[in-house]
């Protein structure tokens, strides 16, 4: 690869959305991502497909965008969206005066709300606090960020779009007031290369300010850190929001068998400020108690943080004061040709953001092609025949999970499973079978166990990798899929990643799991000793 019509920087929701959109419009594009897919905010987030109700009062336009996109994503990405619903709950700590204007603002934005009897709400959500005052239904849903991005990438690929993970843009070449191309570092091999392009798209989320700096521009993108806590239980069937002015710790989002509580908002000085201070977790637990009084009895699976790419515009502002809307900059206005940037926004509106940016790209390139991303589903539904066939090789519940995860690749994995003498589940928590792991591991963009985890959810369940990681490494040796690092090192790296998410919440049941993990891998398998004793 030495030339592309369009180079996109950033493999989060926004960048991948743009890659798919441009590819569908017939524009040759390549996306460069420094980490694995969704290394930034697009996986370090809450996974709430906003109805918009949260923003209705403060930013009615953003709220309208949310509800419209929410409905689009349910249609085009049904495998990635868990259609539940949301409750907005007025607790005894919330100001009742907020209720009316909120209901009106939702109506204005086109968000359907319905008040339900508190008794009925408690019947539907028995873990909800008994002292709640009012409850409304809204069309919130949850969305799997990794999966949505992966499906976008697969769709883009079908249209010729290319995605290179572990490729970091470290410099931008310009000549006579025009961007010519980008200098890229392969972060796995250490190799450097140059890709020329007609147009450069900066979709680097919280990093977009850094990218702009590479061409000497100063833009007001403010990384804002938010912490999230994942629990090992689904203690609510619906998304729970506090009915008040947006604040910390006021949303619970259930995903599959877990629940995520968040979040906080702190000014961050770096886009990769991903460390989680324990205070954040304790604060979230304190606040979360208002909705779920038993919150402390549930096991914390891990805590993580992401940075929001808040765009302060020319006016400035911080944290929750800043609009969640997005902004597109054509740097022609700054005297630089051949580069556009997209700032701010939300996961929920990634498709709309991509559409608007792609419109601009088309205009600049003189291409006349309409956006089709709102109509065409990301993947085709698997046929009934294929699902029937798959039942022979996957456990019953695992079929749908695998089909949803794999999207377009599902038929290939079913073939693979059929060819194996048996297709055991390597990750029992998330029901990931050997065929699926083999397929994902052999994808060129997979370079580590973490990449496998992100696509399959292997290691994201109850055991947090304690049991499935050894199995995965074993299966990879068995099918002779080479990794850049040998087994002991790969496993260590993987366990280390999981450890990071547990460290800030080291108490109670999580602490037991941590002692178990160290015991299995150090006391029994001596991974720590082997790291120094084995040769390559």
Partner 1 sequence: MSKKTDIIVVGSGLAGLTAALSARASGRQVLLITHGVGSLAVSSGCIDVLGYHNGCPVQDPIADLPQLNPEHPYSLAGAERVEKAIDWLQSLCLAGGLNMQKNLSRRNHELITVMGTLKPSYLCPESFCTECFAKARRAAVVSFENMKDVHPLLIIDQLHRYARFADMEFMEAMLPCPIDQSHRNVTPLDVARFVDTPEGLEWLRLSLEPYAKLYPILLMPPVLGVKNSQKVWGTLCDVLKVRIVEMVSIPPGVAGLRLREVLRNALNEAGITMIENALAVRAVADDKKCLSVVTSGAGGEHSWEASQFIIATGGILGGGVATSPGKAWETIFNIPIKAPENPQEWSSTEIFGRSFFSQMGVRVNADLKAIDDSGAVLYENVRFAGRTIGGYDYASEKSGHGTALVTGMLAGELAGKE
Ligand X SMILES: Cc1cc2nc3c(=O)[nH]c(=O)nc-3n(C[C@H](O)[C@H](O)[C@H](O)COP(=O)(O)OP(=O)(O)OC[C@H]3O[C@@H](n4cnc5c(N)ncnc54)[C@H](O)[C@@H]3O)c2cc1C
- Give me the residues that bind ligand X (CB under 6 A), please: 9-15, 32-35, 39-42, 44-48, 50, 168-169, 203-207, 211, 226, 228, 262-263, 306-309, 345-348, 516, 519-520, 523-524
Least distance from C-beta 264 to partner 1, angstroms?
Answer: 16
> What's the min distance (Å) between Cβ of 236 and partner 1?
23
In the numeric block, which tokens belong to residue 345?
């926004």
Binding mask 342-381 for partner 1 (x = CB under 8 A): ----------------------------------------
- Binder of residue 459, out of partner 1, ligand X, none (CB less than 5 to 8 A by kind): none
CB of 284 to partner 1, least distance (A): 12
CB 38 → partner 1: shortest distance, Å? 24
Q: Which does 45 bind (CB under 5 to 8 A by kind): ligand X, partner 1, none?
A: ligand X
Pick out residues in 389-428 that bind partner 1 (CB under 8 A).
Answer: 394-395, 398, 421-426, 428
72 binds partner 1 (CB under 8 A): no
> Which of residues 277, 313, 317, 377 is near partner 1 by CB under 8 A?
277
Say whether residue 318 binds partner 1 (CB under 8 A): no
370: buried, middle or exposed (CB in 10 Å: 19+, 13-18, 0-12)? exposed
> Tokens 């590479």 sit at which residue?
214
477 binds, among ligand X, partner 1, none (CB under 5 to 8 A by kind): partner 1
Report the distance separating Cα 496 and Cα 500, nearest Å: 6
Q: How far apart are the first and last CA of the chain?
A: 31
Taking CB within 5 to 8 Å according to partner kind, which of partner 1, ligand X, none is near residue 315? Answer: none
Chosen residue from 75, 112, 477, 484 binding partner 1 by CB under 8 A? 477
Does position 527 interact with partner 1 (CB under 8 A)? The reply is yes
To the nearest whole angstrom, how small is the minimum distance from the Cβ of residue 30 to ligand X?
Answer: 12
Which of 446, 443, 12, 369 shows the shortest CA–CA distance to 205? 12
Helix, strand or coil, per DSSP, at residue 394: coil
83 binds partner 1 (CB under 8 A): no
Could you give the residue ranges of the DSSP H alpha helices within 159-263? 208-214
**With respect to partner 1, which residue has the nearer C-beta, 100 or 480?**
480
133 or 518: CB nearest partner 1: 518
Least distance (Å) between residue 390 CB and ligand X: 32
Q: Under rule CB under 8 A, how many of the chain's residues touch partner 1?
A: 61
- Contact residue for partner 1 among 330, 337, 359, 528 (CB under 8 A): 528
The C-alpha atoms of residue 36 and residue 412 are separated, in whole angstroms, by 23
Q: Are strands 29-32 and 48-49 parallel, antiparallel or unpaired?
A: unpaired
Q: HEC string of 307-320?
A: EEEEECCCCCCCHH
102 binds, among partner 1, ligand X, none (CB under 5 to 8 A by kind): none
What is the number of alpha carbons within 13 Å of residue 99 lying toward its C-beta? 16
* Residue carrying structure tokens 């080479």: 482
DSSP labels for 78-115?
Answer: TTTEE---EEEEE-TTS-GGGHHHHHHHHHHHT---EE
Minimum distance from CB of 522 to ligand X (Å)?
9
Among 210, 278, 445, 462, binds partner 1 (CB under 8 A): 278
Q: Tokens for 451, please give them.
A: 């990449």
Asked if 517 touches partner 1 (CB under 8 A), the answer is yes
Cα–Cα distance for residue pair 206/184, rounded to 1 Å: 19
Report strand pairing: 29-32 vs 3-9: parallel
Q: Which residues pair with 430 in a beta bridge?
A: none
Q: Is the dihedral of CA 300, 427, 405, 403 positive or negative?
A: negative
In the bound state with partner 1, the residue whose beta carbon lies nearer, of 245 and 500, is 500
Give the C-alpha separation, 206 to 273, whole Å.
10
Which residue is nearest to ligand X, using beta carbons? Answer: 12
Query: Nearest distance from residue 97's CB to partner 1, in Å?
Result: 35
| 474 counts as binding partner 1 under rule CB under 8 A | yes
Q: What does the alpha-carbon distance between residue 352 and residue 183 come to, in Å, rounded to a whole number?
A: 29
- Nearest by Cα to 41 from 255, 208, 287, 251: 208
Contact (CB, 8 A) for 432 and 399: no
- With CB under 5 to 8 Å by kind, the binding choice for 46 among partner 1, ligand X, none is ligand X
Rg (CA), the chain: 23
Q: Which residues ranging from 481 to 510 are in contact with partner 1 (CB under 8 A)?
A: 486-488, 491-492, 495-496, 499-500, 503-508
Q: How far is CA 411 from CA 76, 152, 381, 443, in A?
A: 19, 17, 11, 15
By beta-carbon proximity to ligand X, the closer residue of 66 and 402 is 66
**Closest separation in Å from C-beta 59 to partner 1:** 35
Q: Locate 490 and state its tokens.
A: 């790969």
Spatial separation of the C-alpha atoms in residues 199 and 365, rounded to whole Å:
8
Which partner in partner 1, ligand X, none is near 14 (CB below 5 to 8 A by kind)? Answer: ligand X
Q: Is 467 in the site for partner 1 (CB under 8 A)?
A: yes
**Are the C-beta atoms of 177 and 337 separated by less than 8 Å?**
yes
Which of 177, 175, 217 is closest to 196 using CA atoms?
175
Residue 470 binds to partner 1 (criterion: CB under 8 A):
yes
Residue 395: name its binding partner from partner 1, ligand X, none (Cβ under 5 to 8 Å by kind): partner 1
Cα separation, 110 vs 64, in Å, equals 7
Binding footprint of partner 1 on the chain (CB under 8 A): 277-278, 282, 394-395, 398, 421-426, 428, 433, 467, 470-471, 473-475, 477-478, 480, 486-488, 491-492, 495-496, 499-500, 503-508, 511-512, 514-530, 533-536
């Amino acid at each position: 690869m030495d030339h592309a019509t369009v180079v996109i920087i950033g493999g989060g929701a926004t960048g991948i959305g743009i890659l798919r959109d441009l590819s569908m419009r017939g524009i040759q594009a390549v996306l460069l991502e420094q980490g694995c897919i969704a290394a930034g905010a697009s996986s370090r987030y809450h996974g709430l497909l906003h109805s918009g109700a949260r923003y209705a009062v403060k930013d009615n336009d953003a709220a309208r965008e949310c509800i419209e996109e929410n409905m689009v994503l349910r249609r085009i990405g049904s495998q990635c969206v868990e259609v539940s619903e949301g409750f907005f709950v007025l607790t005894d700590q919330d100001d009742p005066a907020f209720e009316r204007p909120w209901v009106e603002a939702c109506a204005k934005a086109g968000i359907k709300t319905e008040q339900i009897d508190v008794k009925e709400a408690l019947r539907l959500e028995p873990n909800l606090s008994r002292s709640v005052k009012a409850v409304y239904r809204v069309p919130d849903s949850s969305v799997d960020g990794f999966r949505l991005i992966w499906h976008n990438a697969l769709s883009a690929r079908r249209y010729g779009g290319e995605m290179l993970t572990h490729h970091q843009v470290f410099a931008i070449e310009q000549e006579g007031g025009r961007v010519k191309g980008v200098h890229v570092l392969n972060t796995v091999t250490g190799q450097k290369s140059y890709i020329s392009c007609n147009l450069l798209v900066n979709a680097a989320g919280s990093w977009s300010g850094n990218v702009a700096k590479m061409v000497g521009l100063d833009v007001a993108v403010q990384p804002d850190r938010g912490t999230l806590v994942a629990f090992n239980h689904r203690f609510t069937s619906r998304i729970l929001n506090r009915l008040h002015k947006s604040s910390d710790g006021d949303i619970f989002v259930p995903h599959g068998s877990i629940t995520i509580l968040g979040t906080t908002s702190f000014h961050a000085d770096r886009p990769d400020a991903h460390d989680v201070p324990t205070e954040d977790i304790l604060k979230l637990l304190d606040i979360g108690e208002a909705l779920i009084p038993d919150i402390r009895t549930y096991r914390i699976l891990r805590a993580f943080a992401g940075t929001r790419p808040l765009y302060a515009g020319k006016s400035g502002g911080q944290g929750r004061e800043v609009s969640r809307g997005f902004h597109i900059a054509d740097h022609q206005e700054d005297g630089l040709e051949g580069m556009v940037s997209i700032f701010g926004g939300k996961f929920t509106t990634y498709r709309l953001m991509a559409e608007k940016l792609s419109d601009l790209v088309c205009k600049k390139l003189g291409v006349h092609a309409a956006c089709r991303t709102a109509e065409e589903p990301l993947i085709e539904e698997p046929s009934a025949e294929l699902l029937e066939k798959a039942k022979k090789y996957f456990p019953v519940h695992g079929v749908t999970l695998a089909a949803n995860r794999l999207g377009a690749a599902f038929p290939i994995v079913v073939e693979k499973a059929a060819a194996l003498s048996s297709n055991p589940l390597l990750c029992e928590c998330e029901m990931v079978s050997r065929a699926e792991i083999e397929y994902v591991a052999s994808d060129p963009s997979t370079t580590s166990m973490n990449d496998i985890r992100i696509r399959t959810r292997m290691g994201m369940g109850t055991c947090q990798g304690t049991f499935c990681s050894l199995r995965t490494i074993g299966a990879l040796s068995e099918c002779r899929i080479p990794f850049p690092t040998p087994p002991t090192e790969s496993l260590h790296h993987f366990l280390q990643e999981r450890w990071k998410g547990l460290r800030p919440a080291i108490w109670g049941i999580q602490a037991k799991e941590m002692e178990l993990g160290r015991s299995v891998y150090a006391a029994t398998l001596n991974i720590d000793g082997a790291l120094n004793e084995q040769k390559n």
